[in-house]
Structure 1
């Protein structure tokens, strides 16, 4: 993925976070922290938790956080699985999963759904994943994925069916959009679903936003 598309994807997620104005954020599958460092540096949030399976990634993230200038957020990093997010994080305002679910085996998506949408149940959940329709523009052969660790890559119709099913089963409203470039026929390099519990963390209107 080219750097500019990556930046556009992160910006799209940050825009959602700013609109919802959460006080607590879970970055699930945070990796080296490209998003988490921006959250801590750019947005005033009381509590931020990053979760990832890779200890080396978390170690690199700790170094990045030491060098970052933030807004006084309390930051916790945890080595753990998306399939078993601790229930002590129940009640967080927002959870974000940036290019993460495609690293799960498809038959584990049910366990992921129960872990995040039932056990932890954030007011807002933001999920991005590659758009398989865009792969031709990136030079990815039809028989391959963008990354060797990907277990699947969905087209937009398949992603929307999955997101709609999760929303219906778990009592969320959901909206899907193309992000990271918008080809008129193939969509964006990535696609994003934003799940909101009705009546909680709704996006602010322009009148409500503070300049």
Structure 2
């Protein structure tokens, strides 16, 4: 699949078949994440591939409900996570991305006014990964509404790391529709914002 086609046709998939996903396809997805750019090549990301059904069920229990003005509804990603054979959990080593190079063991001194850069770096890796999944005919949906501390406990994520995102991987059981996109003139400007 050509890159721009993959970018334009990738969709968030919430309905999956229960078909198994080949290890080689998962490895290709992980390789795509591994080759993402990162701040000073810190490569702060770590990936946990969860295939065990009992562990996947525990991860579903960490999903946050969606709060509407008059009620709460289940997270729509729960159905996807209950069906897929694989969930990839994205973690990040904190305190290294966006930091200057101090002495080993010293507290990070950030060289950006945005603090720790781990969310940006892991997002770059995740984008590579979901595009690699799509290019192989697999579906994904990136999930951020979950109890990260609970996920960390379930997966024995060590201190110094944060759980950033989850994404189920499987054979799509739906065809995603393209959501409306803003015109380029609404989001890209020349020389000054809004011009």
- Answer whether TM exceeds 0.5 for this pair: no
More strand, by proportion: 1
Task: Name the TM-score, length of structure 2 as normaliser.
Answer: 0.26
Max Rg structure: 2
Task: Name the TM-score, length of structure 1 as normaliser.
Answer: 0.24
